[in-house]
Amino acid sequence: LVSNPNTAPKVGVLALQGDYAAHARSFTAAGAQVSEVRTHEQLQQVDGLVIPGGESTTMLKLIDYEGLWDSLLSFGQTKSIFGTCAGVILLAGEVTSPAQKSFGLMDLSVERNGYGRQLDSRIVKLDVEGHPAEAVFIRAPIIRRAGPQVKVLATYLDTPVLVEQGRHLAATFHPELTSDLTVAHRFLAKLKA
Ligand code: GLN
């Protein structure tokens, strides 16, 4: 891994469960200073946070167990969060199939494992605002509804798969599992803005 200058944006990766190590690698490659976040104190050190893919119910249990719910919610009220897959489920306003609690930081309704067998696990090419990008889907949620403040940056099978709302970014796929840094750079640009 390259070590980036200490003027680079500080990206924390929530490291309770899921594929946080892959995010750490890709944000390091994209030029960020990356650290793993497991405590309130570590969260205070970063400019933006990644909530990785994994299993959202397990991640929620660990967030509660570690007493991080309030810290994460207030972080998201003033700073940027990038959620991928399970991370999108945690950011959404409404979760179905089954319902579970979520931060409500983005005006999204998501259905867990919404593509069913069709997208159990697949690599596809996306168009992100005119730029080709590679996307890996693994038991992805479907964004069933995106509120008026949500901007859709990419779609697949006629459904939004990469969206932003104000300072937050969400991908139902896993950009961190390819060497394509398009989406990581997009998040870093939000931190610099
Ligand atoms: N299906 C998982 C969930 O509901 C998300 C899958 C993923 O993050 N790759 O939490």
Specify whether the CB–CB gap between 170 and 91 falls below 8 A. Answer: yes
Specify whether the CB–CB gap between 133 and 180 falls below 8 A. Answer: yes
Active site residue 176: yes
Active site residue 174: yes
For residue 86, the CA-to-ligand 1 centroid distance in Å is: 4
Counting every residue, how long is the chain?
A: 193
Atom of ligand 1 nearest to the CA of 86: 8
Ligand 1, atom 5: closest residue by C-alpha: 86
DSSP structure class, residue 141: P
Atom of ligand 1 nearest to the CA of 84: 8
Tens digit of each residue's pLDDT, the chain (193 residues):
557 888 899 999 999 999 999 999 999 999 999 999 999 999 999 999 999 999 999 999 999 999 999 999 999 999 999 999 999 999 999 999 999 999 999 999 999 999 988 888 999 999 998 889 999 999 999 999 999 999 999 999 999 999 999 999 999 999 999 999 999 999 999 998 7
SS3 of 9-72: the string is CEEEEECCCCCHHHHHHHHHHCCCEEEEECCHHHHHCCCEEEECCCCHHHHHHHHHHCCCHHHH
For residue 71, the CA-to-ligand 1 centroid distance in Å is: 23
What pLDDT score does 117 carry?
Answer: 84
For residue 16, the CA-to-ligand 1 centroid distance in Å is: 14
Report which of 51, 46, 44, 66 is spatially closest to residue 20, judged by C-alpha positions: 51
Ligand 1, atom 2: closest residue by C-alpha: 55
Ligand 1 probe mutation, 90, 95, 113, 143, most atoms within 8 A of CB: 113
Active-site hit among 23, 55, 85, 129: 85
What pLDDT score does 190 carry?
Answer: 95
Ligand 1 probe mutation, 88, 112, 137, 177, most atoms within 8 A of CB: 112
